[in-house]
Structure 1
Amino acid sequence: MNLLKKLLKGIGIVLILFLGFILISLFSDSRRTSYLEISAHPDLETNSYLIKNVNVVPMTKDTVLKGKSVLIENGRIKQIGNQIPSNGWEEIDGENDFLSPGLVDMHVHIWDRYDLGVYLANGVTTIRNLRGFPMHLRIKEDIAEGKIVSPQLFTSGPILTGPYDLGDEKIQVQDPQMARELVREHKAKGYDCIKTYAGMPLNIFNAVLEQAEASQIEVVVHPSFEVPYGNNFQPQIATVEHAEDIVQQALSYELDTTILKSVIAQYGAGRQTLSPTLTGYSKILEMLQDDDVLNSEQVAYINPLVKKVDSKAQLERWTSEKETDPDIVERIQEQHDFHLHIVNELNRIGVNIVSGTDAGIGITAPGFSIHEELAFYLEAGMTNYGALKTATINPSKVHDKLHGIGTIQEGKKANFILTDQNPLENLKVLKSPKWVMVDGRKLEPGLMEQFKSKAKNRKGLVASALRWVEYLMVEK
């Protein structure tokens, strides 16, 4: 009996120590990201300003409104005019620079709060997260309550796939009834949209769409190999993801321009939106061409758990592929170039294209990747204005909750980038903003550098793993 008591006592002590370790890890990670709290920066308490002497890039059309004043009240644009009286408003001198809407990345994966600051430092003021955890709902709540400075966060629920598409990061939906229940559940929890994945069979896919329509929640589709590609052009579907899946699914891995014409026509007829995520695919080339890519500057900004597990696994996979098949580098390059052709053809007929990068997995860094994506759109034949539309006004057409962003107009959110050159003439200038404004809060260069430095080579592997365990326990 005494031995049993000692054993139970020992187990109790171990459990207490383990629980203490968990709490300390989460508390430490929370303390390390406290630099995002608005209360930590007195200047961020203000979200009402009068910006004077600024050239406005409204993104409603390909033009610049010169010498304007912009009045911001409680994070919203109240008035745009030639001469707006101060009337006691705190003033910002625009110094005859260029004011553009904040950028939008419509396909990201957020793993911790450090990512939020990196996005802001790169001029990204809205992000759409497409793998939802309970953590993301807590972030949304803190943003809504004005506790932290962050990009606007729009998030899907956990990824839904079919019963045989295995993987901890996805929920294996067993039948249509389970699909309907999950759609209702994710809507009730506060997720903004439903995300479907590559292994979902047609009957379950149809059940998701039917329930999404009934529950008034939109669906974002990673096309499924078990669903004909043409079924992705339905009104409940807000966007289709990945140009690569046009090749891999609609074209059966053939770079066939003849069959592509029919797919392009379906996009046009269905008025569907595509998020190409060219950057995410292009990173395969980087891994094939650079064995030391995990030590690159941008990878230093990726979550430590992702870097240790996913980034490493992807590099090992593609290194192994190259060893057994040296021609793979040429094939991946050819497919990437074909993706540019797809984007050009879709853009030519006026399809709504939204910038998404797949940042947060592999070696695709948050924030920095949006500038790579826009550069690819230029390479695909877009004008500067056309490329910038994909990360500003185009996303505002996709979800009702995004209608308040993407242009500089009265009533819209005061999400801005100030640059010393006109981005309609040189998109690269967006990489180096003089300042960024989100919800009317002005982020000076020093603060943006702090956001980046805090996230670079950060700690928090254990805390990230614990949040992953929470996801598995709560959502799976």
Structure 2
Amino acid sequence: MRIIPLLLLALFVGCNTLTKKSADLVVTGATIINPESEKDVVGDIVITDGKIIEVGPGASGNYEATKTIEAGGKFVIPGLADMHSHFGNMIIPGDADDSKLVLARHLYFGNTTILNLGSHKAWIGAIDGMRDALKKGKLQGPRLLATGSLITMPGSHPVSTIYSPELQKKIAEVISNHGGDGPIDLAPLRGTTLVRNADELSKEVARVGKWGADAVKITVESGPDEFGDDHPQMSPEMIAASADEAKKFEIPVLCHISSLDELEACLKNGATGVVHAVTSEKPLPEDLELRMIKAGFVVIPTAAMFDGWKRYAADESLLEQVALKPVLSDQEKKIFGSERMRDQFKSDESWDKALVILGKHLKKFHEAGGTIVAGTDTGNPYRFAGFALHEEIAFYVKSGIAPRDALATATTNAAKLVGQEDEWGLIKTGLAADLLILDKNPLDNIENTLLISAVIKAGKEVDRKSLPMR
């Protein structure tokens, strides 16, 4: 008489097991921090085919996972995005390719998305090759967004400022051989295009737009000041032309600027935002932030770059930070710690004042409702790929922006800038499973973003120790 009940029990257990769905990866028991939410939850994240399929308390109960990461007591944030990055680091030989190293370092520090803004090793063909290698697993790195080219004017930045004399000579030959009208594509010397008027700028924006650029970068400035303020500056008509053409492809136009007049020109002529904040020892106009917000203007400040030059030049021991030990080579530490480099980037009273004004400007802009997007200008001295983004976010907090809002600059705000908020940037069902698992709460101390337990990119845990970072 007991056989039937036992059979029914066995049938029930068997059916219950069969109802469990399969998953590639589950992260269990972590505090889940979404920058756009004021309420964090302890729960699970279920991942299949590189996407989050369920998230919340007990979410993993209905799944049999190939791999489980038990994250009790840990904290999960969305993977970070550096929206102003380059290859090269100002110390490698001019034609050397450090893209593999740069991509690996970004990923090591939890940057699961980067926006490359052109120049070194970043022309369209090079970017296509890297993306293909990333897709096939032959290269390890973040989601690679790109402009396809940095657009500037002949004789302006960076061509006549930071490019080497040897490279400038080669570029002069390209210009001489070009002849006639039309944009001058410098590939493969650099992912840079020279334009001389509004018509040429429109054509170049159309070219990169048809290719699939995620953004357009135009160099508006006549400086930077340390190179003299006497280089050709893009006219308002050129800025407006780039903005008009970019609208056809629904991509943002980002202006490289360094002074207030350049920012005003971009603000008044339809650009989406700037890829550097203004650094000035003079007070900024009282109404500037509100005018920027009214225009929907975005700021990628690269504030920690300006601050970092001062800090690293003043304190050589910063090159020995624990987080940098697996990354920096002896050669890098020797060069960046040299007396020549430290003397070149040392601060002075006016620079210190400019940094204070910058911090106040960003806080005021943010509190009034402005959009800040994190970017580092990696490729510059002391901007170590991946690590620099953590310093950038920390600068915002130091300036008075709440840690949660600072995290948003490198997650949700970044995704919205390029119209990809439905693809990545949050820990949400249907979005990419790009995650950063931390040992301590970044909302308690923003520097805890460096206490990385695991990096998950496209649903797979990254073997951080195997990344080619030197």
Q: TM-score, normalised by structure 2?
A: 0.74
Equivalent residue for 1:365, pick from 384, 398, 423: 384
2:399 corresponds to which residue? 380
Shift of 1:202: 2.3
The aligned residue for residue 307 of structure 2 is 282
Pick aligned residue for 1:218 from 230, 252, 256: 252
Aligned to 1:319: 343
Give RMSD over aligned pairs. Answer: 3.2
Q: What is the alpha-carbon distance in structure 1 between the residues aligned to residue 133 and residue 140 of structure 2? A: 9
**C-alpha contact 2:106 2:385 (8 A) present in aligned 1:** yes
Alpha carbons of 1:61 and 1:304: their partners in 2 closer, same or farther (altered >3 Å)?
A: same
Give the deviation of 1:210 after TM superposition. Answer: 2.1
**What secondary structure is seen at the aligned counterpart in 1 of 2:274?**
strand
SS in structure 2 opposite 1:424?
Answer: coil
Q: How does 1:275-314 map to 2 (within 5 A)?
A: 275-286=300-311, 288-289=313-314
Aligned residues of 1:102 and 1:125 also touching (Cα < 8 A): yes
Mapped partners of 2:241, 2:269: distance in 1: 14
Q: 1:236–1:438: structure 2 CA closer, same or farther, 3 Å change rule? A: farther
Distance of 1:288 and 1:418 partners within structure 2: 32
**Is the Cα–Cα contact under 8 Å of residues 310 and 345 in structure 2 kept in the other structure?**
no
Distance 1:432 1:124 in 2: 14
Structure 2 distance, partners of 1:94, 1:215, is 42
Query: In 2, are the aligned partners of 1:354 and 1:395 still within 8 Å (CA)?
Result: yes
Aligned partners of 1:299 and 1:365 also within 8 Å: no
Matched AA of 2:127: H
**In structure 2, do the counterparts of structure 1 residues 299 and 73 end up closer, same or farther at CA, with 3 Å as the change threshold?**
closer
Cα distance in 2 between the residues matched to 1:81 and 1:285: 43
2:355 matched to which residue of 1? 336
- Take 1:89 and 1:316, find their aligned partners in 2: how far apart are those partners? 54
* Cα displacement (A) at 1:263: 1.2
Equivalent in the alignment of 2:466: 450
Change in Cα spacing, 1:254 to 1:224, as seen in structure 2 (3 Å) is closer
Aligned 8 A contact 2:372 2:413 in 1 = yes
Aligned match of 1:171: 193
Structure 1 residues 227 and 214: alpha-carbon distance in aligned structure 2, compared to 1, 3 A threshold: farther
Task: Give the letter for the 2:242 counterpart.
Answer: V
Per-residue deviation at 1:65? Answer: 0.5
Question: Residue 411 of structure 1: CA displacement?
Answer: 0.9
Q: How does 1:403-418 map to 2 (within 5 A)?
A: 403-418=422-437
CA contact (8 A) 1:201 1:224 kept: no
The one-letter code matched in structure 2 to 1:136 is: I
Structure with the larger helix share? 1
Aligned residue in 2 for 1:184? 206
Alpha carbons of structure 1 residues 76 and 237: separation in structure 2 relative to 1, 3 Å: farther
Deviations 1:212-256 (A, max 9, x none): 22344321111376975334237963431212xx34xxxxx4421
Q: CA deviation at 1:135?
A: 2.1
Structure 1 residues 272, 392: CA separation in 2 closer, same or farther (over 3 Å shift)?
A: same
Q: What is the CA–CA distance in structure 1 between the aligned matches of 2:385 and 2:62, rounded to whole Å?
A: 38
Matched, 1:114 2:89: no
Matched-pair contact (CA < 8 Å) for 2:281–2:353: no
Q: 8 Å contact 1:268–1:350 — kept in the other structure?
A: yes
Alpha-carbon contact 1:47-1:439 (below 8 Å) kept: no
Please state whether the residue corresponding to 1:401 is helix, strand or coil: coil
Specify the code of the residue in structure 1 equivalent to 2:198: P
Q: Unaligned 5+ residue runs, structure 2?
A: 1-21, 89-98, 164-189, 222-232
The answer for the alignment partner of 2:153 in structure 1 is 162
Instruction: Select 1:128's aligned residue among 102, 115, 119.
Output: 115
Counterpart in 2 of 1:34?
none
Distance 1:121 1:213 in 2: 35
- Distance in 1 between the 2:54 and 2:449 partners? 24
- Structure 1 residue 318 displacement after superposition: 7.3
- 2 CA distance for matches of 1:160 and 1:52? 46
Matched, 1:394 2:429: no
Question: Which of the numbers 76, 83, 102 marks the counterpart of 2:51?
Answer: 76
Q: Deviations over 1:53-86 (max 9, x none)?
A: 22211222122102x1221110111111322334
Decide whether aligned partners of structure 1 residues 449 and 179 sit closer, same or farther in structure 2, where only a CA change above 3 A counts: same
Amino acid of the structure 2 residue aligned with 1:280:
M
Does the 8 Å CA contact 2:108/2:386 hold for their aligned counterparts?
A: yes
CA distance in 1, matches of 2:444, 2:362: 21
Q: Distance in 2 between matches of 1:225 and 1:425?
A: 35
Taking only the aligned residue pairs, the percentage that are identical comes to 22
Deviation at 1:316, TM superposition (A): 4.8
Residue in 2 aligned with 1:142?
A: 133
- 1:284-303 Cα shifts (integer Å, max 9, x gaps): 31464358989999599579
